[in-house]
Amino acid sequence: MKTWKKVTIGILAAVGLLVIVLVSVYQANKGVVTVQSGSVVRENLTSLVTASGEIRPKTYTNVLGEGFGKITEIVVKEGDHVKKGDVLLKLESVQPGADVRAQEASVAAAQAGVQVAEANYQSALATQAERQADLEKAKFDWGRSQKLFAQQLISRQDYDASKATYDGAVAALNASRAQVASTRAARDQSHETMAQNQAVLAHQEDVLRKTTYRAPIDGIVSYIAVRVGENVVPGIQNSEGSFLMTISDMSVVTSEVKVDETDITNVHEGQSADVSIDALPGKIFKGIVTEVGDLAILRSSGEAATTQTTANTQEARDFKVVVTLVNPPASLRPGLSSTAKIQTAHKNAVLTVPIQALAVRSQKDIDAAKQGSKNSSVTLAAARTPDASGDAKNPDITGVFVIRDHRAVFVPVTTGIMGVSDIEVSSGLKEGDQIVTGSYKALRSLRPDARVKIDNSAPKMSDLSS
């Protein structure tokens, strides 16, 4: 046989052998799913609720306009520390000051009138006492004259003169009493006039006081809303007065965040939290939950969700949660953006698996796998929320695929608290079990008891997508 024939036969034999090998490999790998694997590990697990908000002082006050006037001076600037009673700003006070001085003069005149009226009253009392004494003497003289006249010891003229003196003393006493009543009324009137002038003075002094605004609390000037030359208007009925500035007491600082309605049931007062502030990157501040809101807040408008406002809307809602910072830095300012990670639960040394390893399979899927069916449909746990109205004869079961003898065995599990990336498994698995953790594409289509091979290299983008 010629050489070229031998070469041709050898090549054909090699090609045939290669085809046989490739077919054998294909048949061997037919139906095998490439997956990523991990292990069931025991670790400390902390459940967190993350929410965003802003830094706010626990105590602050908005300074509002109390009277009319033009701003002539702003004594403080934003960021200044003030004590209670410190002057903040001043309004034009020419007219109120003049009114106070004029009214002070009126009060002084009224005070003088009170003194005159009091003196007149005391003089009338003295005169009344004198007339009372004169009456007593006249009454005594007339009584004696009556006895003497009866004994014919005095003349009729002396008797009549004594009686006239007595009657005059009675009239003088009555006149004196009337004078006392008159001066008493004048005195009381002067006192009322004095009180009226003092009330008007108090009003004028209050108007003057409202031209100088003072700090109501200790704190920092966190915001000034006005400028020199602007006019201030007081509140009228349901309308608030001009907003001037905000004084914030930064001795107790909070992070006021909004927690999603799906997480609020896990948040309670007294839980610890880690607070990060955008203006202070890389720093974490400890805090304690001190307030959990009871009323939902509409996410779009920020208004409280009442029966009237939410009757025809399914808008997402949040709840206000206040986290009080422990030892806050002095550099904090109200309004800084913050993020709070609230620790809602913590367990030590519990079995955990990656959250993405959880899958949901129906009882029908599991039974079909046992019977070798290839037509069952599957879904991930994260892809479908269990529905209370589902088919009771074909319930959804949450589980994990455990790799045993190169097969993905679906094992139902009971879960506990959830961490950032891992979730507690309280039953169904043991430490060290090798489980399927990815990819998402593989888990989505993976059937119970399917043959698998492990490839823990970096996943392709096509595997990460749905």
User: Residues 67, 207: contact at Cβ < 8 Å?
Assistant: yes
Output the six-digit token pair for 30.
């037919």
Instruction: Flag the least confident range among 31-35, 228-232, 373-377.
Output: 373-377
Q: What is the mean pLDDT of the chain?
A: 84
pLDDT of residue 306: 62
Burial call 372-406: b when 16+ CB within 10 Å, e when fewer: eeeebebbbbeeeeeeeeeeeeeebbebbbbbeee
User: Residues 252, 322: contact at Cβ < 8 Å?
Assistant: no
Segment 392-417 mean pLDDT: 87
pLDDT of residue 111: 93
pLDDT digits (tens, 9 = 90+) for 381-402: 433 434 444 456 668 889 999 9
Burial call 441-462: b when 16+ CB within 10 Å, e when fewer: bbbeebbbbbebeeeeeebeee
pLDDT of residue 381: 44
Q: What's this model's pTM, rounded to 2 decimal places? A: 0.62
Residue 378: pLDDT over 70: no
pLDDT digits (tens, 9 = 90+) for 293-321: 988 888 777 677 665 555 456 778 899 99
Alpha-helical segments (H) within 77-155:
94-150
303/329: higher pLDDT: 329
Percent of the chain whose pLDDT exceeds 90: 51
pLDDT of residue 382: 39
Residue 353: pLDDT over 60: yes
310/107: higher pLDDT: 107
Confidence band (pLDDT; 50, 70, 90) for 18? Answer: low
Q: How far apart are CA 167 and CA 170, in angstroms?
A: 5
pLDDT digits (tens, 9 = 90+) for 217-237: 998 998 899 999 999 988 776
391/415: higher pLDDT: 415
Question: What SS3 class is residue 37?
Answer: strand
Segment 266-294 mean pLDDT: 94
pLDDT of residue 186: 92
Segment 141-158 mean pLDDT: 85
| Residue 36: its H or E element | strand 33-39
